[in-house]
Amino acid sequence: MSTQKAWKAAMAVFDLKAAAIEERWGKNRLEGLASAELRTKYETAKAQLEDACLAGDVELAARKAAVLSRGLEALEAYAVAQSAKAEEVPSWVISVNSRSYRIVQHTYEVCAAAVRYPRETVIAVEELLRLQIAQEEGRLLVAAKTTFPMATMTYAGPPKSKLGELIDDELPF
C-alpha cells in the first residue's frame, strides 16, 4: 500500500465520523456542550493524533484516529443525555421564480443546511459575494477589451499596502 493510501485509510474512520457529526450538530459544537472532563479527554486525544501525524507514524495515527472517533461518539452521547438538540443553522429563505434558496452565513454551514433542507438550494453569503465579484470583474474585462482591443490582461498580484512599502526593508525579521 502506498504511503498516501495508508494515511487515507488511517484517517478514514475519523473523517467519516467527524463529517457525519458536523452535519448533525454543527462545526465544533459538541466540544462546547461537553463537560470539562470529557472535553479535556477529547482535546488530549486530538493532540495525540496530531503528534502521531507529525511523527509520521501511520499505524499510531490510525489507532489515535479510532480513539478520537470514539471520543466524538462520547461527545454526542453526552450532548444527547443532556437533552441538547442539534443546532439549527441560522438562515434566510428567498423564493425566486418558484424556487427556494436558503442563504447561510458561513460556507461550513452549507452541508448541514443542505441535509436539513434537501429541496432548497443552499448558498453561503461568501459564495454570493464571490459570484458578484466575478461578475463585476467580467464586466471590467469586457469594458477594458472594448476600449483597448489589443490589450491583454495579466495577473499582477495583490496590491502592496502603504504599510508594506514602509516596512519592506533589509531587516531579517
pLDDT digits (tens, 9 = 90+) for 95-123: 889 899 999 988 878 887 888 888 999 99
Task: State the pLDDT at residue 66.
Answer: 92
Host domain of residue 143: 88-154
Query: How many degrees, rounded to 5, is the angle at CA 25 between CA 24 and CA 30?
Result: 140
For residues 11 and 75, membership in a common domain is answered with: yes
Task: State the pLDDT at residue 156.
Answer: 66
- Quick check: is 168 in a domain? no
Contact 102, 121 (CB under 8 A): yes
- Quick check: is 117 in a domain? yes
For residues 108 and 141, membership in a common domain is answered with: yes
Q: What is the C-alpha to C-alpha distance for residues 148 and 140, in angstroms, rounded to an integer?
A: 12
- Quick check: is 24 in a domain? yes
Number of domains in the chain: 2
Half-sphere exposure of 98 (CA within 13 A, CB side): 0
Task: State the pLDDT at residue 161.
Answer: 56
Task: State the pLDDT at residue 65.
Answer: 92
- Quick check: is 164 in a domain? no
The model's pTM:
0.55
For residues 112 and 77, membership in a common domain is answered with: no
- Quick check: is 52 in a domain? yes
For residues 67 and 11, membership in a common domain is answered with: yes
For residues 57 and 101, membership in a common domain is answered with: no
Please state the φ and ψ torsions of residue 11, each to the nearest 5 degrees.
-95, -10
Please state the φ and ψ torsions of residue 123, each to the nearest 5 degrees.
-135, 140
For residues 73 and 96, membership in a common domain is answered with: no
Contact 13, 67 (CB under 8 A): no
For residues 105 and 57, membership in a common domain is answered with: no
For residues 150 and 132, membership in a common domain is answered with: yes
Half-sphere exposure of 135 (CA within 13 A, CB side): 6
User: pLDDT confidence of 44, banded at 50, 70, 90?
Assistant: very high
User: pLDDT confidence of 91, banded at 50, 70, 90?
Assistant: confident
Question: In whole numbers, what is the pLDDT of the chain averaged over residues?
Answer: 83
- Quick check: is 169 in a domain? no
Task: State the pLDDT at residue 173.
Answer: 46
- Quick check: is 35 in a domain? yes
